[in-house]
Amino acid sequence: MNPDRDRLLHEMGLGPLWKLRAAPMPAEVPYPSSIVDAPATTPLPGTAAAAQGADWESLAAAVSDCRKCRLCSARKQAVFGVGDVNADWLFVGEGPGSEEDQRGEPFVGQAGKLLDNMLAAIGLRRGSDVYIANAVKCRPPENRTPEVEEMEACRPFLERQIDLIRPKLIVALGRPAAQTLLKAEVKIAAARGRLHEYLGIPLIVTYHPAYLLRNLPDKSKAWEDLCFMRREMGKLKGR
């Protein structure tokens, strides 16, 4: 391995000294029936209407009051997103975990520490030229993957966030984010390393940080993806 690369991986928290491990993802856990208040087959009108034409504040208010999918039942609060609303970079994760649900901010747990290190490795920091959001705004119980219906219900909010931010580049962290943005079946291994597009905005797919915490060998691929993002943003900014 080349020493520069090793040093950079280490600085990102991706090197061999990175000790944190996320708890293994639990197998898919069915909803306890007591918290299910809307079967998945119920039509979910309303989020599109609430999001359409909304300004930033009314969008945030609509999200915090939203009860358009069953994820509303188990949340403490909806997690709208964090950062610079004029950012060139938009990172989209999957959904809040329990710490995010408690604190009302995306990526503040272990995966968030890794995301912050990844941002730092390409000269970015939370809040400055970066916005961070999720495919679903409310925490899925037991950290399970959001269901397609839940992501569909929540998608108008993400779409309106993108309309208002108008980022130069979108980074989809993990498969659910990539699928909801690209409206297609995505395999990260096949989709990473090339440019996709969301309504004319270049989009790059990479591994979710929580996945990287459990899959050490893929961390060097995440590093390649970060280099790719930085290069593409350089081009987009005309440097």
Footprint of ligand SF4 on this chain (CB under 6 A)?
Answer: 47, 63, 66-69, 71-72, 78, 136-138, 150, 153-154
Sign of CA dihedral 169, 185, 147, 40: positive
Phi, psi values for residue 186, rounded to 5°: -130, 140
User: Of ligand SF4, ligand URA, none, which one does residue 150 interact with (CB within 5 to 8 Å by kind)?
Assistant: ligand SF4
What DSSP assignment string belongs to 56-101? Answer: HHHHHHHHHH--SSGGGGT-SS----EE-TT-SEEEEES---HHHH
For ligand SF4, give the closer residue by CB, 138 or 210.
138
Sequence-distant (6+) residues with CB within 8 A of 35 are: 70, 73, 74, 141
For ligand SF4, give the closer residue by CB, 38 or 227.
38
What DSSP assignment string belongs to 158-189? Answer: HHHHHHHH--SEEEEESHHHHHHHHTS---HH
DSSP state of 15: S
For ligand SF4, give the closer residue by CB, 68 or 219.
68
For residues 60 and 122, give the distance between their C-alpha atoms in angstroms, rounded to a whole number: 29
What DSSP assignment string belongs to 94-156? Answer: S---HHHHHHTSSS-SHHHHHHHHHHHHTT-BTTBSEEEEESSSSPPGGGPPPPHHHHHHHHH
For residues 175 and 24, give the distance between their C-alpha atoms in angstroms, rounded to a whole number: 17
Judging by beta carbons within 10 Å of its beta carbon (0-12, 13-18, 19+), is residue 24 exposed, middle or buried?
Answer: exposed
For ligand URA, give the closer residue by CB, 95 or 167.
95
For ligand SF4, give the closer residue by CB, 71 or 111.
71
Residues near ligand URA, by CB under 6 A: 93-97, 100, 106-107, 109, 111-112, 134, 210
For ligand URA, give the closer residue by CB, 96 or 167.
96
